[in-house]
Structure 1
Amino acid sequence: MKIVAIIQARMGSTRLPGKILKTVNNKPLLSYQIERLQQSRYINDLVIATTIEEQDDLIVGFCKRNQVLYFRGAEQDVLARYYETAKAFNADAIVRITSDCPIIDVQVVDKTIRYFIDNKNFDYISNTIERTYPRGQDTEIFSFAALEKAYNEAILEKEREHVTAYFYTNPKMFKIGSIKSEIDYSRYRWTVDTEEDFNLIKNIIENLYCENPNFTLKDTVQLMEENPDWFYINAHIEQKKL
């Protein structure tokens, strides 16, 4: 089974444009994310799926400089972008990651992938169906066959934009699995969608990365508990609705 992790990335974020190339210690957030995912025991290819828009030439330039695989597709029809990327790289299974998760824990990612490998009857597995992990640790994996079915059949705008919406809104058509954390960490928000989010992630990276570049979810929780005021940096931010 060839497992391809696809990170959807674009510069045109509505709330914080260019966020994925914002830097901490002179290093783009996207670099931190890629570095962490490259430690996976199961991912065969890691691909940045960006758009054909001119502003995303910056992402392509980043990929070329850093020898990272990439693919360009439609900006709004992200489902098509995923399908075309997966087809181009001969994926049997696709791990979906969004580029606003720079401190994603590869152990969380690998736990989700391992569950998919061990339970071959599932079409789609996610750790977000019942949220127990912090935002920013979101991991989904699905078969190419399921992606192709969604690509061919999904017609609603939200289904095309949000890639996996067709799976979990049609549970009778797909065998769906859920991964949960042993401890509920859902109160934490470690995704980057606003300036406040970026400020929190900056604090975390600056305090953990130098000592241990592969710091884990538990390391981050411990740091947050040692600095309880950090929770309120972005606690008021509401997640965008699908």
Structure 2
Amino acid sequence: MKIGLLITARLKSSRLPFKLLRDLNGYSIIEHVINRSKKLSDIEDIVLCTSINQQDKPLVEIAKKNDIYYFLGSEDDVLQRLCDCAKFFGFDYVLSITGENPIFSIDHTNLMINRIKTLKEDFIYIEGLPIGTAVYGINVKALKTVCEYKDEIDTEIWGPLINRPEIFKVGKLIAEDFYYRPNLRLTNDYFEDFQMMNKIFCSFNSCSTPSLFSVLEFLDNNREILDTNKERTQLSLDDDTTKRIDEFFKHNHHKIIKIKNKNYSDDI
């Protein structure tokens, strides 16, 4: 099985402009994500998955500089970009991580990779890890199926389109007690997030790749840092969009299953 790690990244953010290029103790945010990705086991290739927009060209140069592949795809349709990238590189399964998450859990990602190799699940997610520290696993056949049936174009938040147990075999890993902190923000959506991340990274050696365990242990011993971004909340789909997607699945179930069976026909 050929497993790829796809880092989705763009420079269009309005909440924290050009956030992926911001420096965190000697490396940009996106470079920390790349360096962390190189610590994973049993990954065929790492691909920085960005868009055809000229604004994102600096990300291509960073990929070249750090000796990883890059792929240029749809600007707004993240799922289509992931699907096109996966097909181009011939991956059977992909792990998806976003470029603003430089403390994603290496250990939990390796657990997911082991699970991918032993269980035939279409979509795998991790419940309970701090925001910004989990990756997602997707069978490329499931990804192809979603892109054929969906009618959503802006898929920056794509979970509800594939986390569908009525369609796919969905797997879930649950974070252990020490790691179970679903309301803790370890991402870079807002300036306050970046301030907190900067405090964390400046407390470790600039050349190190601190484990999530080490970061959480540090925060437990320096709890005042948690106040930095405590007022910020994670963006999610609005109720109208969620309802529209749910209704789409309800009324098109038979059609979606037919598309899935076609794409999975060689598994029978």
TM-score relative to the length of structure 2? 0.84
RMSD: 1.4
User: Which residue matches 1:231?
Assistant: 226
User: After superposition, where does 1:151-166 map in structure 2 within 5 Å?
Assistant: 151-157=147-153, 160-166=155-161
User: After superposition, where does 1:69-218 map in structure 2 within 5 Å?
Assistant: 69-120=69-120, 122-127=121-126, 131-157=127-153, 160-168=155-163, 170-183=164-177, 184-210=180-206, 213-218=208-213
Q: CA deviation at 1:103?
A: 1.5
Q: Which whole-Å CA distance do the structure 2 matches of 1:38 and 1:180 have between them?
A: 24
User: Which residue matches 2:214?
Assistant: 219
Q: Is contact 1:103-1:136 (8 Å) kept? A: yes
Q: CA deviation at 1:31?
A: 0.9
Q: Is contact 1:108-1:137 (8 Å) kept? A: no
Q: Which moved more, 1:61-70 or 1:51-60?
A: 61-70
Q: CA deviation at 1:125?
A: 0.5
Q: CA deviation at 1:116?
A: 2.1
- Report the residue type matching 1:167 in the other structure: I
Identity %, equivalent residues: 29
Q: Which whole-Å CA distance do the structure 2 matches of 1:176 and 1:68 have between them?
A: 30
Q: Which whole-Å CA distance do the structure 2 matches of 1:24 and 1:214 have between them?
A: 12
Q: Which whole-Å CA distance do the structure 2 matches of 1:35 and 1:161 have between them?
A: 24
Does the residue aligned with 2:202 lie in a helix, a strand or coil? Answer: helix
Q: Is contact 2:25-2:202 (8 Å) kept? A: yes
Q: Is contact 1:8-1:99 (8 Å) kept? A: yes
Q: Which whole-Å CA distance do the structure 1 matches of 2:234 and 2:103 have between them?
A: 18
Higher radius of gyration, 1 or 2 = 2
Q: CA offsets, 1:94-133, max 9 Å, x none?
A: 101011101112112111221222212x111001xxx410
- Report the residue type matching 2:131 in the other structure: R
Q: Is contact 2:73-2:81 (8 Å) kept? A: yes
Q: Which whole-Å CA distance do the structure 2 matches of 1:209 and 1:69 have between them?
A: 27
Does the residue aligned with 2:6 lie in a helix, a strand or coil? Answer: strand
Q: Is contact 2:123-2:162 (8 Å) kept? A: yes
Q: CA offsets, 1:109-161, max 9 Å, x none?
A: 111221222212x111001xxx4100111211011111110111111245x33
Q: CA offsets, 1:197-218, max 9 Å, x none?
A: 01111111111234x7132111
TM-score relative to the length of structure 1? 0.92
Moved over 4 A (4+): none
- Report the residue type matching 2:209 in the other structure: N
Q: Is contact 2:157-2:236 (8 Å) kept? A: no
Q: What residue ranges of structure 1 are gaps of 5+ in the alignment? A: none
